[in-house]
Each structure stands twice: as structure tokens, then as C-alpha cells.
Amino acid sequence: MTIELQPDEQRIINDAVRSGEYAKPEDVISDALSAWQKQRTSVGSRGEYVSRAKDLVELFAPLHGLDLDLSRNPSPGRSVDL
């Protein structure tokens, strides 16, 4: 089987190999397919695929670097006229 990758996909794979995280490009693809298959077996009630985050850090990881203020805004409460 021959698969043609987009330039950005090739860059991601090459970066993973260059960093030493993977020994060869085939390992990157194999790991990605295993993760996809694992995620795919976790199906929601309506049939959609559900990604299950292990903790809050993993859940909010895609938002890292977006400079979002997720702090709580305490309500001063209602003013009471006496």
C-alpha cells in the first residue's frame, strides 16, 4: 500500500523521528493508528466518538497558550437597600 502524506503530516512525522521519540516513521504511524483505534472503541450514546481525558490537565491541554482567563469571577451579590 502506498500512502501520500501532506507536507505538514510529513513534517510532524519527521519531527517525531528527529526528536528521538520514535526510531522510524513507521513507528509514528503505527502509534497514531493504535491511539485512533483505542479512541474509536470508546463510543458515546449517540454513536459519536468520545475522547476520554485522564485528568483536567489532559482535558485542557489543547487550550494551552491561548491566554484564556479561566479564573472564577466572584459575584459581589445583590445590593440590599435598607
pLDDT tens for the chain, 82 residues long, are 788 989 999 999 999 999 999 999 999 999 988 888 877 666 555 555 555 656 777 777 777 777 777 677 777 777 777 7
pLDDT recorded at residue 66: 75
Centroid of chain to Cα 46: 21
Q: Where are the domains positioned within the chain?
A: 7-63
Q: What is the DSSP letter of 5?
A: P
pLDDT recorded at residue 71: 74
pLDDT recorded at residue 55: 72
Tell me how far apart the alpha carbons of residues 79 and 32 are, in angstroms, rounded to a whole number.
Answer: 56
Centroid of chain to Cα 71: 22
